[in-house]
């Protein structure tokens, strides 16, 4: 049997879904249709389903993949439906705390394809694993409706549940990038159903110059690097199949919410850098973006941010420093006050961006050869 390479072409960071972000109706014995947009395309794939934070087993009675008809709708192209299996079985019970892959399946998807994953559930745990800031609508129908052309808006929710990633299965290696961070990487306050997070704009920029690298987004809103970031770093970043580059933009919540100083944050950076290099991965450091005017802003906290950014900008010269620097701060700052976000990019809270701001972040990647001038060792799975 030929060996395969696996590379994540879409992903989302997951945690325990708060009760106020749970599905609008019980998912047990009902159907859920979720829309995602892959980066790199291929001809064979597999999907990972997660019950990592569940308090009981998760039953899937049937699951299918189809091409989405249009963004923001629960409609699919009927002729494109592909039934998926687990170990050649349609039904699977995933124990609490476990993740499982579908069987690899043949399916021709060009890059940037928008697909719908439809699941008919059996028993569903009360503690749900998911991603609450999907900024993408999902659709629920009562009963087994996964082969229906269109789901209604009656039980529409802007969250993802249980789906963890989509991987390309190929006979040749594909390189991937993991974008690791908090709500700014998560795309908080970007336009819903538009896929306008900064990693989405980076992928478009790479495609414009024919650099075929998969992008997967492991931004998780509300988290800090020194706590949740470190706890999930191995699973969410280092273990992502095919990933050879890491772009980290993490630390504002450490400063504003945990009152960490620059030395605390720099020491954590050094740890993640060492771990990346031990995993044969390159790691690029993103400067922390301006936040003057934010409700948690103080002059003292901004001094810490600037000291952290100074270290990042000079870290290529030192041991345990970043391999490249992505200066997000520089492209987002206001011309009249460098400690605040330019008004054109401000979502309104002075820390998160609007879609124009996330698009502007791609301009921090001025030298795209950082994604093509390195070679790596690949292991077959």
Residue 123 token pair: 């028993």
Q: What is each CA distance from 124 to 63, 105, 140, 182, 255, in whole angstroms?
A: 14, 25, 14, 28, 38
Backbone dihedral angles phi then psi of residue 300, each to the nearest 5 degrees: -65, -40
Q: How far apart are CA 325 and CA 93, in angstroms?
A: 44
Q: Classify strands 243-249 and 129-131 as parallel, antiparallel or unpaired.
A: unpaired
pLDDT in tens, the chain (381 residues): 457 999 999 999 999 999 999 998 999 999 999 999 999 999 999 999 999 999 999 999 999 999 999 888 999 999 999 999 999 999 999 999 999 999 999 999 999 999 999 999 999 999 999 999 999 999 999 999 999 999 999 999 999 999 999 999 999 999 999 999 999 999 999 999 999 999 999 999 999 999 999 999 999 999 999 999 999 999 999 999 999 999 999 999 999 999 999 999 999 999 999 999 999 999 999 999 999 999 999 999 999 999 999 999 999 988 889 999 999 999 999 999 999 999 999 999 999 999 999 999 999 999 999 998 776 665 533
Count CB atoms within 10 A of the CB of residue 79.
Answer: 7
Q: What is each CA distance from 250 to 10, 13, 312, in whole angstroms?
A: 20, 14, 12
Q: How far apart are CA 38 and CA 250, in angstroms?
A: 24
Residue 1 token pair: 């049997």
pLDDT attached to residue 320? 84
Q: How far apart are CA 322 and CA 1, in angstroms?
A: 40
Q: What is each CA distance from 61 to 27, 151, 163, 292, 351, in whole angstroms?
A: 12, 18, 15, 50, 43
Q: How far apart are CA 148 and CA 159, in angstroms?
A: 21
Q: What is each CA distance from 370 to 70, 202, 322, in whole angstroms?
A: 34, 13, 12
Q: Which residue has the tokens 């002059």?
A: 299
DSSP 208: H
Q: Tell me if residue 254 falls in helix, strand or coil.
A: helix
Q: Name the CATH topology of 175-371.
A: Rossmann fold (3.40.50)
């Amino acid at each position: 049997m030929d060996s395969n390479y696996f590379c994540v072409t879409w992903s989302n960071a997951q945690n325990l879904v708060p009760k106020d972000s749970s599905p609008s109706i019980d998912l047990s014995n009902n159907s859920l249709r979720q829309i995602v947009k892959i980066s790199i395309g291929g001809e064979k794939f597999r999907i990972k389903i997660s019950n990592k934070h569940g308090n009981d087993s998760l039953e899937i009675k049937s699951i299918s993949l189809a091409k989405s008809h249009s963004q923001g709708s629960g409609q699919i192209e009927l002729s494109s439906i592909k039934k998926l299996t687990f170990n050649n079985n349609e039904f699977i019970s995933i124990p609490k705390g476990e993740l499982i892959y579908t069987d690899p399946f043949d399916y021709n998807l060009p890059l940037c394809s928008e697909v719908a994953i439809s699941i008919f559930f059996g028993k569903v745990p009360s503690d749900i694993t998911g991603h609450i800031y999907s900024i993408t609508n999902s659709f629920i129908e009562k009963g087994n409706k996964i082969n229906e052309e269109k789901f209604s808006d009656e039980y529409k929710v802007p969250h993802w549940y249980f789906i963890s990633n989509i991987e390309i299965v190929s006979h040749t290696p594909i390189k991937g990038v993991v974008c690791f961070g908090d709500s700014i990487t998560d795309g908080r306050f970007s336009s819903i159903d538009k896929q306008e997070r900064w990693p989405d704009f980076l992928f478009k920029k790479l495609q414009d110059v024919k650099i075929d690298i998969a992008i997967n987004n492991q931004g998780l809103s509300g988290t800090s690097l020194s706590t949740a970031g470190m706890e999930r770093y191995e699973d969410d970043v280092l273990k992502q199949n095919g990933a050879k580059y890491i772009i980290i933009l993490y630390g504002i919540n450490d400063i504003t919410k945990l009152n960490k100083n620059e030395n605390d944050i720099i020491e954590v950076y050094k740890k993640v850098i060492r771990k990346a290099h031990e995993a044969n991965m390159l790691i690029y450091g993103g400067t922390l973006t301006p936040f003057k005017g934010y409700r948690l802003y103080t002059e003292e906290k901004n001094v810490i941010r600037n000291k952290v950014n100074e270290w990042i900008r000079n870290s290529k010269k030192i041991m345990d420093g970043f391999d490249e620097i992505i200066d997000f701060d520089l492209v987002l700052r206001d011309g009249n006050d460098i400690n605040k976000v330019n008004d054109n990019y401000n979502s309104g809270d002075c820390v998160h961006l609007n879609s124009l701001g996330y698009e502007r972040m791609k301009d921090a990647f001025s030298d795209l050869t950082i994604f093509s001038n390195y070679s790596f060792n690949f292991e077959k799975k």
